[in-house]
Amino acid sequence: MIAFLRRATIFLVCFITLWSPMSLFADQTSGSTLNTEQRMWLLAEELACPVCDGQSIKDSNAELAQQMRALIVVLLDSGRNEKEVTDYLVLRYGEEILLDPPKSGFQLGVWIGPVLFILIGVGIVSSKLFSVRDSMDTSSESGSSE
Partner 1 sequence: MELADIGRISIALALGCTVYACVVNGMSISGNRTLLAISGRNGMVGAGVMTSLSVVVLVIAFITHDFSIQFVAEHSNKAMPIGLTIAALWGGQAGSLLLWAWILAVVSPIAVWRVRSSDSQLATNAAFVLTILLFFFLAVLIFVDSPFKQLMSPPSDGRGLNPLLWDIAMQIHPPMLTAGYVCFAIPFALSIAGLMTGRIDRDWVKLVRGWMLLAWALQAAGLLLGAWWAYRVLGWGGYWGWDPVENVALIPWLLATAYLHSAIVQERRGMLKLWNVSLAISAYLLAIFGTFIVRSGVLTSVHSFAVSDVGPIFFVFFGLLLICCISLIIIRLPVLRTNNQFESATSREAGFLINNLLLVSVAATTFWGTIFPMISEVIQGARIAVGAPFYDQVNGPLLLALIILIGIGIALSWRRTDSKQLLIRLMPAAAVALVTGSLLFLLGIRDGLACLAVSAVGFTAMSTLTNFIGAVINAKDTGNSPGIKTVFSVLSKNRRRYGGYVVHLAILMIAIAVIGTNMYKKESSVTLGPGQTTSVEGYVLRFDELRFSRANDVTAVDAVVRVVSQGDGIEIVPGKRVHDGWETQPTSWVGINTSVPSLTDLYLLLTGWEVNPQLITLRVIVNPLVGYLWLGGAMYFLGTLMVSWPESKSREP
Residues at the site binding partner 1, with contacts judged by CB under 8 A: 7, 11, 14-15, 18-19, 21-22, 24-25, 37, 41, 45-46, 48, 52-56, 58-61, 66, 94-101, 106-107, 109-111, 113-114, 117-118, 121-122, 125, 128-130, 132-133, 145
Residues ≥6 apart with Cβ < 8 Å to 17: none
Q: How far is the CB of 21 from partner 1 (least distance, A)?
A: 5
Q: How far is the CB of 115 from partner 1 (least distance, A)?
A: 8
Based on the number of CB atoms within 10 Å of its own CB, is 102 exposed (0-12), middle (13-18) or buried (19 or more)?
A: middle
- What one-character DSSP code corresponds to residue 1? -
Q: How far is the CB of 81 from partner 1 (least distance, A)?
A: 18
Nearer to partner 1, 95 or 137 (CB): 95
Count of beta carbons in the 10 Å neighbourhood of residue 47: 23
Give the Å distances, CA to CA, from 6 to 9, 30, 131, 145.
5, 39, 14, 21
Q: How far is the CB of 5 from partner 1 (least distance, A)?
A: 12
Nearer to partner 1, 57 or 75 (CB): 57
Give the Å distances, CA to CA, from 114 to 6, 85, 110.
27, 29, 8
Report which of 76, 49, 74 is spatially closest to residue 63, judged by C-alpha positions: 49
Nearer to partner 1, 48 or 85 (CB): 48
Nearer to partner 1, 84 or 96 (CB): 96
